[in-house]
Chain A
Amino acid sequence: MSLLSIAQANSQINSLSEVPEGMTCCLHQSDLEQSSSELLQAMGLVEDCSFQVCRNKGTCVLQVHSTRLAISRELASKIQVRVVN
């Protein structure tokens, strides 16, 4: 799965796994199992929160406020985000 161009990313709601590195996103919704969803929320990744995509090659590293999270690509592909800038 290739990453979107910045222009494409800015125009729509995307899967997190497709967002280019360095972009700031806002969590739109996720299609995760309840346990994974609750864990991410407890770690600070709640609906409408904004975060930066630091790395998106193979696995995904996010900066959510003061928390740095690493999530697998499989999980990232199930998270829908809105690119802020």
Chain B
Amino acid sequence: MSETDSNNDRLVSPGNSGRGCIALVGNPNTGKTTLFNRLCGLRARTANLPGSTIEAHIGSWNAAGTECQVVDLPGIYGLGLDRPESRVCREYLDGSHSRFPDADCIIVVVDATNLRRNLLLVGQILELGKPVVVALNMIDIARKRRLKIDPEQLSRELGCPVVELSARLGEGIGSLADAVRSAQPTSVDLPPSSNLQRCEQWSRDVADRVGGDSASTDTLTARLDVAFTHPVMGLLSFIIIMIGIFWCIFAFAAIPMDLIDLIFGMFSEFVSGLLPEGLVNDLMVDGIIAGIGGTVIFLPQICLLFFLITLLEDTGYLARAAFVLDRVLRPFGLSGHSFIPMLSAHACALPAIMSARMIPGRLERLATILVAPFLTCSARIPVYVLLVGFLFGDDPLLASLAFAGCYVLGGVAALLCSLVLRHTMLRGASMPMVIELPDFRMPSVRTAIVTTIDRGWVFLKNAGTVILGISIILWWLSAFPVSDPPLEAVQLRQAAEQVSVEDPDAAGSMIEQADVITGRDQVANSFAGRIGRFAEPVFKPLGFDWQLSIGVITSFAAREVFVSTMAILFSGTDDPDEEGVLQRIAGARRSDGSAVFTIPTSASLLVFYVLAMQCLPTLAVTRRETGSWNWAILQLVFMSAIAWIAAWITYMLVSMGGFS
């Protein structure tokens, strides 16, 4: 595309005013991300801001046929504050970077119900000398509270276009495009942002003159806060809400999960019938489809978790939860700021560790990063489902208690480790908690859907890349070198041939048995089998044989790979047409013919997976966020050591209890 053609696609041609990229800036809780989602919808991606690990969303806004890029920056209270989000916004708006597009125009999203405080940031942004548009968001709520703001007067006071809008309802979006086209740097004299007293006086005066200085308080918020910020009632309501969320996840995800399982099963059968028997068929069915299917099945749970968390965040409740939990977390060296990362960790440790950037204190941030992977992420769920099913498959009550127990064990381990870390290598005072409690409001379902799709897509991309790669490698490791069928299998086949005419059923049974022996022998002598045997002495005290050792090693890349590894390893040991994957794994045998998944082994394996750092991407993110491999290695060592010791104790106790 030529430069001219490219320019014609911009909202405002760079030849006109150089406006190809728009930055969205604003205080937290002003509806900035709702506006971004309204403008860009699914045409957005998440990226780290230059020179930092703080995320920004970058999207493309198509306004009446013209295109421009939009960068959604993190919410800030001031450009000059000594906080990570303020620092990166400052650097981005200064243009001191090369990878991100420079902002040619800045939209400052302002909460119309809290104009006076928001104007402090507007003044700082106007001072940068760039074209600015003020988006007077939540105008619908302001009107309901009978706030009469004069946008034209405000525009004259600020020297920039002002647009009234409601991002949640989609009101005023068209006017925003016109305002961006006409925006110029302000020519109004503003108080210097270094003089806070003058800035405060200026914002008060301006808000007063335009009709936005009336204190706007929400009576519903005040009433709800009586319960939600109460030391006891707040904690109880938090527990009830969290139980509700997890109940929804397990109750509503079951149907789509069954559907995905069915689709992958049908697809597997279709591909198996389509391709001639041989290596390619094995690779597709036992490697790729089994590996990816075992992971993608958990997509509904992940999507539901993100959808509900986003809805909850949008209501304004999560700030209250952080506030209430501050008192609970503080004795363990954490604070309410750690709550959002720890909640996110129940979906995935990666966004949890990344969201820890917003924790202002370095020591708390490090402690949160180091212990967040203890919390049960969605990747552990397949392993829990598998092992809890083996342990308590016939007793739903015990199964659900065991499942909840896994979550509790992970949480307790995280808190205790944080306590130890904060009294040893991360010793120091915690940062005091300061948080804004936004007004309660109806959440935006649209925003929740867009966020859910974004997160779900990240999960699918992971399944399509990392897990696909591991599945192929694992299949290759278990399929090669191809070994000759053992003598026992050969003799069974010969016997089957002899009786095939007079007793075809007996012959079929013999062939099946020969297949089982051949498959087990193939895996045992494969590269994977050799690796498993090499690692077996390390895991033998926990009750794991060489096959489980392979699972533990391969799932170091991603925990959920354990189930697909088991599915791949045991796919050749029985007839896949007759039994589901879980039955095949449950019936797996050791080399001596005994069951792989005894009660002590299953219990030990479950505890191991609750506590172990079985996630390579988490280590990589820890290294990136802490800036050092030392912290990542420390995390790996202490989590693995704790997991090994706890699993060994579990194995010993359950074995001594007489379970077998």
Report A's interface with B, CB cutoff 8 A.
34-36, 38-44, 46-47, 49, 54-55, 57-59, 61, 63, 65-72, 74-75
Contact A66/B437 with A35-B83, A41-B196 known, Cβ cut-off 8 Å: no
Closest residue of chain B to A64 (Cβ to Cβ) is: B117
The answer to the question of B439 belonging to the interface, with a C-beta cut-off of 8 Å to chain A, is: yes
Measured in the bound complex, the distance between the Cα atoms of B119 and A73 in whole Å is 29
Which among B113, B120, B434, B439 is the interface contact of A71 at CB below 8 angstroms? B434
Measured in the bound complex, the distance between the Cα atoms of B230 and A58 in whole Å is 9
Which among B78, B116, B225, B439 is the interface contact of A38 at CB below 8 angstroms? B78
Q: Are B82 and A69 in contact (CB under 8 A)?
A: no
Q: Are A70 and B78 in contact (CB under 8 A)?
A: no
Where chain A touches its partner, the secondary structure class is mixed
The answer to the question of B643 belonging to the interface, with a C-beta cut-off of 8 Å to chain A, is: no
Measured in the bound complex, the distance between the Cα atoms of B232 and A55 in whole Å is 13
Measured in the bound complex, the distance between the Cα atoms of B125 and A12 in whole Å is 40
Q: Are B433 and A54 in contact (CB under 8 A)?
A: no
Closest residue of chain B to A41 (Cβ to Cβ) is: B196
Contact A35/B360 with A43-B117, A66-B216 known, Cβ cut-off 8 Å: yes
Q: Are B434 and A42 in contact (CB under 8 A)?
A: no
Complex interface residues of chain B between 150 and 182 (CB less than 8 A to chain A): none
Closest residue of chain B to A63 (Cβ to Cβ) is: B217
Q: Are A66 and B434 in contact (CB under 8 A)?
A: no
The answer to the question of B261 belonging to the interface, with a C-beta cut-off of 8 Å to chain A, is: no
Q: Are B434 and A43 in contact (CB under 8 A)?
A: yes
Contact A66/B432 with A38-B81, A42-B120, A55-B229 known, Cβ cut-off 8 Å: no
Q: Are A39 and B83 in contact (CB under 8 A)?
A: yes
Nearest chain B CB to A64 CB, angstrom units: 8
Interface bits B428-454 vs A (CB < 8 Å: 1, else 0): 000111111111000000000000000
Closest residue of chain B to A74 (Cβ to Cβ) is: B432
Contact A55/B225 with A69-B437, A70-B433 known, Cβ cut-off 8 Å: yes
The answer to the question of B323 belonging to the interface, with a C-beta cut-off of 8 Å to chain A, is: yes
Q: Are A61 and B229 in contact (CB under 8 A)?
A: yes
Q: Are B82 and A58 in contact (CB under 8 A)?
A: no
Contact A65/B117 with A38-B78, A39-B83 known, Cβ cut-off 8 Å: yes
Measured in the bound complex, the distance between the Cα atoms of B436 and A40 in whole Å is 10
Contact A66/B116 with A39-B83, A72-B326 known, Cβ cut-off 8 Å: yes
Chain B residues whose CB sits within 8 angstroms of the CB of A49 once the complex forms: 200
Measured in the bound complex, the distance between the Cα atoms of B360 and A56 in whole Å is 24
Report B's interface with A, CB cutoff 8 A.
77-78, 80-83, 113-114, 116-117, 120-121, 196-197, 200, 215-217, 221-222, 225, 229-231, 319-320, 323, 326-327, 360, 431-439
Q: Are A75 and B229 in contact (CB under 8 A)?
A: no
Contact A66/B229 with A72-B432, A72-B434 known, Cβ cut-off 8 Å: no
Which among B230, B320, B434 is the interface contact of A39 at CB below 8 angstroms? B434
Measured in the bound complex, the distance between the Cα atoms of B196 and A51 in whole Å is 19
Sample of 8 A–B contacts (CB below 8 Å)? A35-B81, A35-B83, A38-B78, A39-B81, A66-B113, A66-B117, A67-B114, A70-B437
Closest residue of chain A to B114 (Cβ to Cβ) is: A66
Chain B residues whose CB sits within 8 angstroms of the CB of A40 once the complex forms: 434
Measured in the bound complex, the distance between the Cα atoms of B216 and A1 in whole Å is 32
Which among A38, A46, A67 is the interface contact of B82 at CB below 8 angstroms? A38
Chain B residues whose CB sits within 8 angstroms of the CB of A35 once the complex forms: 81-83, 360
**Interface centre among A35, A47, A68, by most B CB within 10 Å?**
A68
Measured in the bound complex, the distance between the Cα atoms of B116 and A49 in whole Å is 12
Q: Are A44 and B222 in contact (CB under 8 A)?
A: no
Chain B residues whose CB sits within 8 angstroms of the CB of A72 once the complex forms: 326, 432-434
Nearest chain A CB to B576 CB, angstrom units: 56
Nearest chain B CB to A83 CB, angstrom units: 19
Nearest chain A CB to B98 CB, angstrom units: 29
Q: Are B434 and A69 in contact (CB under 8 A)?
A: yes
Nearest chain B CB to A48 CB, angstrom units: 9
Q: Are B433 and A59 in contact (CB under 8 A)?
A: yes
Chain A residues whose CB sits within 8 angstroms of the CB of B80 once the complex forms: 38
Chain B residues whose CB sits within 8 angstroms of the CB of A38 once the complex forms: 78, 80-82
Q: Are A70 and B229 in contact (CB under 8 A)?
A: yes
Measured in the bound complex, the distance between the Cα atoms of B201 and A49 in whole Å is 11
Chain B residues whose CB sits within 8 angstroms of the CB of A36 once the complex forms: 431-432, 434
Measured in the bound complex, the distance between the Cα atoms of B231 and A37 in whole Å is 25
Measured in the bound complex, the distance between the Cα atoms of B83 and A34 in whole Å is 12
Nearest chain B CB to A26 CB, angstrom units: 14
Closest residue of chain A to B196 (Cβ to Cβ) is: A41
Known: A67-B114, A74-B432. 14 other contacts (CB 8 A): A36-B432, A40-B434, A42-B78, A42-B81, A44-B120, A46-B200, A59-B229, A61-B323, A66-B117, A66-B217, A68-B439, A71-B433, A72-B326, A75-B432
Nearest chain A CB to B630 CB, angstrom units: 26
Measured in the bound complex, the distance between the Cα atoms of B56 and A15 in whole Å is 40
Chain A residues whose CB sits within 8 angstroms of the CB of B432 once the complex forms: 36, 71-72, 74-75
Q: Are A70 and B434 in contact (CB under 8 A)?
A: yes
Closest residue of chain A to B115 (Cβ to Cβ) is: A66
Measured in the bound complex, the distance between the Cα atoms of B77 and A39 in whole Å is 7
Closest residue of chain A to B77 (Cβ to Cβ) is: A42
Chain B residues whose CB sits within 8 angstroms of the CB of A59 once the complex forms: 229, 231, 323, 326-327, 433
Q: Are B436 and A68 in contact (CB under 8 A)?
A: yes
Chain B residues whose CB sits within 8 angstroms of the CB of A68 once the complex forms: 217, 221, 225, 436-439
Chain B residues whose CB sits within 8 angstroms of the CB of A43 once the complex forms: 77, 117, 434, 436
